[in-house]
Amino acid sequence: EKVFFGNKIIDRDEASFSFDDRSMYFGDGVYEVIRVYGGHPYKMERHFRRLQRSADELDIPYADEEKQALEKAVYELIAANQLDEGFVYMQLSRGIAARDHLYDRHTEPFSFAFTQEMQTPKKQQAEGIAVYLTEDIRWLRCDIKTVNLLGNVLAKRQAADHDCAEAIQHRGDTVTEGSSTNLFIVKNNQLQTHPANHLILNGITRQLVIELAEESGYTVSFTPFTTEALLEADEAFITSTTNEITPVTEVRGTKHGTLDIGPVTSRLQEMLQADIE
């Protein structure tokens, strides 16, 4: 098993992290997860653009050579590990420096990447999942894909403790997104999802679904909606790189209810599948 670590491809066993990596002390780093289908990275350029944006927003220097090295690493790791179905995880940390809240703009960033095999969660995509409603306690820059994911991991654990596959977070009454997914509802053939502002991560899959929906004549509204609207929706589904499009069939937590898997969700699943193939 090969990994990309500090600009070299090495064996996973040989990679050892520095105490002083700022992503360790402060969660001071950004990341991306790129899906690999049949040995090919899917929508790689979009993920790299988002990594660039996340780094820029956090004032982490991300030079062209760094980007080129990471892009090259994606292909080298897929080949070296003979990855067919899975994903590439990559992380860019602000770098290695003695612990100090105050960062120095000259610290050199540190990046690494690894591959992991995975299968498409076909059963969940066909049968739907239960989700758990929970208060969104995260900071106000959820648009940045940082490795500081405490709110997300606590929400995911809470969901699992209630036998739900995903948490759906809400700020007050307003639904934002899942712990590692975006959420759409469908009402009267119209799609609705939280606007891409500072309160959610603008998912690549979210963007693809919007494009596919609009191409096939559906209207997509970017007005925030309530937990009540989720329960009253005709259909609901989550999206992410690893989940693709997964229907929501049950809601638990502060409110309860069930939903059917509907034609709009199925149609979008087919269109996304066609794009992947």
- Which one of 57-65, 173-181, 221-229, 246-254 is the stretch in contact with ligand PDD (CB under 6 A)? 173-181
| 241 is a contact residue toward ligand PDD (CB under 6 A) | yes
Judge contact between 76 and 4, C-beta under 8 A: yes
- Helix axes of 204-215 and 263-276: crossing angle, nearest 10 degrees: 110
| 181 is a contact residue toward ligand PDD (CB under 6 A) | yes
Annotation says 145 is catalytic:
yes
CB of 162 to ligand PDD, least distance (A): 19
241-269 CB burial, b ≥16 within 10 A, e <16: bbbbbbbbbbbbbeeeeebebbebbbebb
Q: Which is nearer to ligand PDD, 60 or 88 (CB)?
A: 88
d(CA 262, CA 249): 10
Among 93, 125, 182, 192, binds ligand PDD (CB under 6 A): 182
User: Using CB under 6 A as the criterion, what x/- string covers residues 105-144 for binding ligand PDD?
Assistant: ----------------------------------------
Q: Which of 123, 145, 156, 187 is catalytic?
A: 145
| 206 is a contact residue toward ligand PDD (CB under 6 A) | yes
| 54 is a contact residue toward ligand PDD (CB under 6 A) | no
Q: Which is nearer to ligand PDD, 180 or 249 (CB)?
A: 180
Q: Residue count at the site for ligand PDD (CB under 6 A)?
A: 15
| 205 is a contact residue toward ligand PDD (CB under 6 A) | yes
Q: Which is nearer to ligand PDD, 90 or 186 (CB)?
A: 90
CB of 213 to ligand PDD, least distance (A): 15
Catalytic residue numbers, as ranges: 145
Site residues (vs ligand PDD, CB under 6 A): 33, 152, 177, 180-182, 201, 203-206, 239-242
